[in-house]
Each structure stands twice: as C-alpha cells, then as structure tokens.
Amino acid sequence: MIKTVPARDRPAPERRNLSPAALYEHAIRRDEAVIVSTGALTAETGHHTGRSPKDKFFVKEPTSEGAIWWHPGNQPISSARFDGLLQKMDEFCDTHEVFTQDVFACADTRHRLRVRVVTELAWHSLFARNLFIRPTADELLSFEPDFTVISLPSVKADPKSDGTRSETFILVNLGRRIVIIGGTGYAGEIKKSIFTALNYLLPAKGVFPMHCSANVGSGGSDVALFFGLSGTGKTTLSADPSRRLIGDDEHGWSDSGVFNFEGGCYAKTIRIRKESEPEIYAATESFGTILENVVYDPRTRIPDYDSEEKTENTRAAYPVDLIPNAVLSGIGKHPSNVIFLSADAYGVLPPVARLDEKQIRHYFLSGYTAKVAGTERGVVEPEPIFSTCFASPFLVLPPERYADMLIERVNRHQAEVWMLNTGWVGGPYGVGQRMSIAHTRAIVRAVVQGRLHDQPAHVEPVFGLQIPDLVPDVPREVLDPRSSWPDPDEYDRQARKLRGMFEENIHSIGRSASTAG
C-alpha cells in the first residue's frame, strides 16, 4: 500500500491538506496551471479531456469477485498486476513531490467514507478538496482513511507486462480499498473512482447510490432528483434560483432521505451564459475554482467559454458553498419527484411524461440520451447513448439491483417519476428545434410544485407515455411531439426506430447479466 509516513521522513516531500492559496502557489511554481482574470485557476488535462472507461479494471479478488457485474465495462485484472503497478506508484512517491488531501464522501455521517487522495499535481489536490467534503481541523487530527485514491499521470503502464489496454489505467481494488490512476491527467477520474466504490459499498447498507442532482424548495419538503447523462441539463436545472441545491451529481437515498456524496460541483462550462445560469457562472469566476481545458486570451487572461479548441467537455470544479442557495448540510428529505432527463436528438420523445412502474424500470435501465454526430451541413443522423441506470461506467453490481432499489423507494415514499426531453422538438436535429430552456424550466416548476399531479393526460401512441394535456407557460403544440412534426407519418417512423433501439438495448443488458461471472 502507498506509504503514509510523515513528510519529514520521506525522501521526497509530501504536502498534506494544503489550503487553496497554497495549492495555487504550488501549481503556478510547477507550471501546472495559470490564474485567469476572474481569479480562477485554469489547467489543461493533456491528451485525456474526459474519462477513459475502457482503461478501467476491477481487481479480481475473493471479497468482491462474486458480487461484481462482470461485463465488457467491468474488466477484471489480477491482484499480481495490481501489485506491480502499485509498486510503480510507491517508487514514484519516494522520489517525487506529491500532494495529499484527506476528505470525506457522503454528507450523512452514518454512511461517511474517509478518503485519502494522493496526487502528483497540485491542482489535482485542489480538485479533490473542492469536490469532496472538507473535514474540520479537529477531524483531521484523527483522520484514518477508509479508502485511498492515488493519481499519478506520469506513471504509465506497459500493456504487455502490466496487462492493461494502454499506458492509461484506472484499477479499483475493492478488497484493499485502493484505486490507482495513471497515464491520465483528467481529474474527473478521481471523483468517479469514489462514486464507483460507493456503488459497491452502500447497497449492502441499504442505501441506494444515484448518479443524479438534487434540489429542494424553500420549505424543505419537496425534494426533487434529476437523473441524466452529460448535456441533458442535470446541473443546470438543479441550480434553480428559486430552490436550494443539495448537490449536482451524486447522491444516496437512505431510510432517512437523500444526501450528497460530495462537497462540490463539476459543471460543464461550454457556452455558459450569465443570463441563463447565473449561479454556476458566478462560481466559475471565483477564487479557488478550477477551470479545466478552458481557452483564455494569453494577454488579458479572460476565459473564452465558447471555445471548443481543446474540447467541448470544458469544466469548472468548485465548492458547493459558492452556490448562494446551496444546502450546506448536503442532506434532504425523501424526494417527492424523480425526473429522468434525456436530450433526444431524434425529436420524438415528449417534453414531459409521467411514468408508471413498468416504464420507470424500463427508462431507468435504459439511461437514454442522444447526441448529434457532427456539424456538417444538412441533416445529421443522431447517435443514441444508453448508459444503464444513467451511470453505466460506475455500476459495480448488476443493474437490476439498483433498479429494484429505486422502485422500492419510489413506491414506499409515493414519489412521482417523470421523463423530460431537453433535446429536440418538432423534428430531429437539423429539422426541429432544441427545446427551449424557458419551457423546460416551466415544466420542472410545474412538476415540483405539484401542478401536474391531477392534470389530465393523453397517451402517446408509440411509446405509450402519458403526456399532460396542459403545463402552465408551455404552448400546447410543444407538449405533443407528433403534432409538432410537419409530417406525422415521418414522426411515427422515427419513433418506431427509436423504440426499437430501446428494446435492443434492454435485451443487451439482459444478455450481459445472464452471462456475467
């Protein structure tokens, strides 16, 4: 295991639990990052501008081997291979300056995980400090980690001798409670490695782990959950000025209610606008915030949030307390509403539909969104994205286990479940229009205020979805996707095509489950 002796006894310095200001200084000294005009720190992640799911492995070891959902996304690796790469990590830490942050995951102290994050980069240490829950000075005095994450981009694997796919690796050892990350500078691997661990640890304690954002009304009783993949509006819609943010990405649902796993937010910044996302925009322009791969003017240091020069996946990592109306405890009551977000580029899903129990299971296991394939002239065929339980890269147990937990809690606490299309209406990408954020916010507002609870609904013919007849501040023609298409017969063809994709995906999940192990 990685050495944890005091810095004074190590051959190379280990800098532990440094403040944001100190980590700024080290990041600048080491040429890792620069300060932009807003006071934020901006850094580049190198070749990897997103996660590397094909380079993630689970160590096949006795305590977890029988529980893991083994499928192409959860690849096995031997304990011997893990030990070899961990030894490389140890040797690196013996001869290089490293940074350590001791942090918590899980706002509910009954389920809290003490996490030690060891990083090669100073800005990665600040990232961990921003994204996880920060202990008090007294809590740090007796801190002993339950889980350790080691992220050293300079340590690369040799696929032939180390058994990896490439020089990049993310190895999860659930038995020894260690994750080692090498060959990638993308900081998101750090936070998602702990989310992966919690997807294994918490169900055994009766807690449902969720890849969702959460907010609550001013009265504290109408909690809403927002499940959705990247680009569907999960972070944007939960950061509502009229409601309080519990968290933007990862939560648990226990017998007591919901709680945030994290102490920060990791928001996409591409084309962010102060007018439409004022809370998030203000947080990106604060001291202590990290901007990832955001282009800036080299002379003025003014960020250009519209630029895709480095990646479209530009990000801001900041503490949740930079959101003015955040629930700093990270804890809420049982949710009244659960919302599945899909950005449907095929343009056939309705802007809002109420789901019954069978549909809840179907659409949760599907975890659907769609993205456009390119920016060429003319109509571009959308690409469907299915991520089981809206969290496929982070699931450790079979997906039905998580679906069962959701259904049980929804039924027990009488929560209503909705599907919202934040993508295209009136036709597919290239023909129709992107759903208005104003209309989507009006739909969310009607849902969380209970104004659709008794609203009459009609059934969409292809998917069998229940569409409310009326939503305040949303035109009737927007609500019914078929009637909004210039050619209803073309809608039927496109809808049947997408329904077939859903069915094939569900069958593939069943095949993976039947052959697991």
Residues known to be catalytic: 51, 192, 211, 230, 234-235, 249, 315
Q: Which two tokens stand for residue 427?
A: 């036709």
- Say if residues 252 and 106 touch (Cβ distance below 8 Å): yes
| Amino acid letter for position 349 | L
CA dist 144 → 113, 246, 367, 381 (Å): 10, 27, 37, 52
Cα–Cα distance measured from residue 352 to residue 341, given in angstroms and rounded to the nearest whole number: 9
- DSSP H helical segments within 96-211, as ranges? 122-131, 137-141, 159-162, 188-201
Q: Say if residues 127 and 291 touch (Cβ distance below 8 Å).
A: no
In DSSP terms, 228 is beta-bridged to 341
Q: 140 and 17 in contact (C-beta within 8 Å)? A: yes
- Taking alpha carbons only, the member of 322, 259, 262 closest to residue 290 is 322
Cβ neighbours, 10 Å, residue 95: 9
- CA 215 to CA 138: how far, in whole Å? 30
Q: Can you give 104-121 as a three-state secondary structure string?
A: EECCCHHHCEEEEEEECC
Q: Backbone dihedral region of 344: left (phi > 0), alpha (psi from -120 to 50 degrees) or beta?
A: beta
**Cα angle at 273 between 267 and 274, to 5 degrees?**
100
Q: Running DSSP on this structure, what letter comes out for residue 480?
A: -
Given the structure tokens 């029988």, which residue do they identify?
66
Spacing of C-alpha 252 from chain mean position = 13
> Could you identify the residue written with the tokens 């992107």?
434
For every residue of 408-422, DSSP letters joined together read: HHHHHHT-EEEEEE-
Cβ of 401: how many Cβ atoms within 10 Å?
16
- Tokens for 4? 């944890």
Q: Of 275, 319, 359, which Cα lies nearest the Cα of 133? A: 319
Nearest to 62 by CA among 141, 176, 232: 176
Specify whether the CB–CB gap between 147 and 177 falls below 8 A: yes
Residue 496 structure tokens: 């049947």
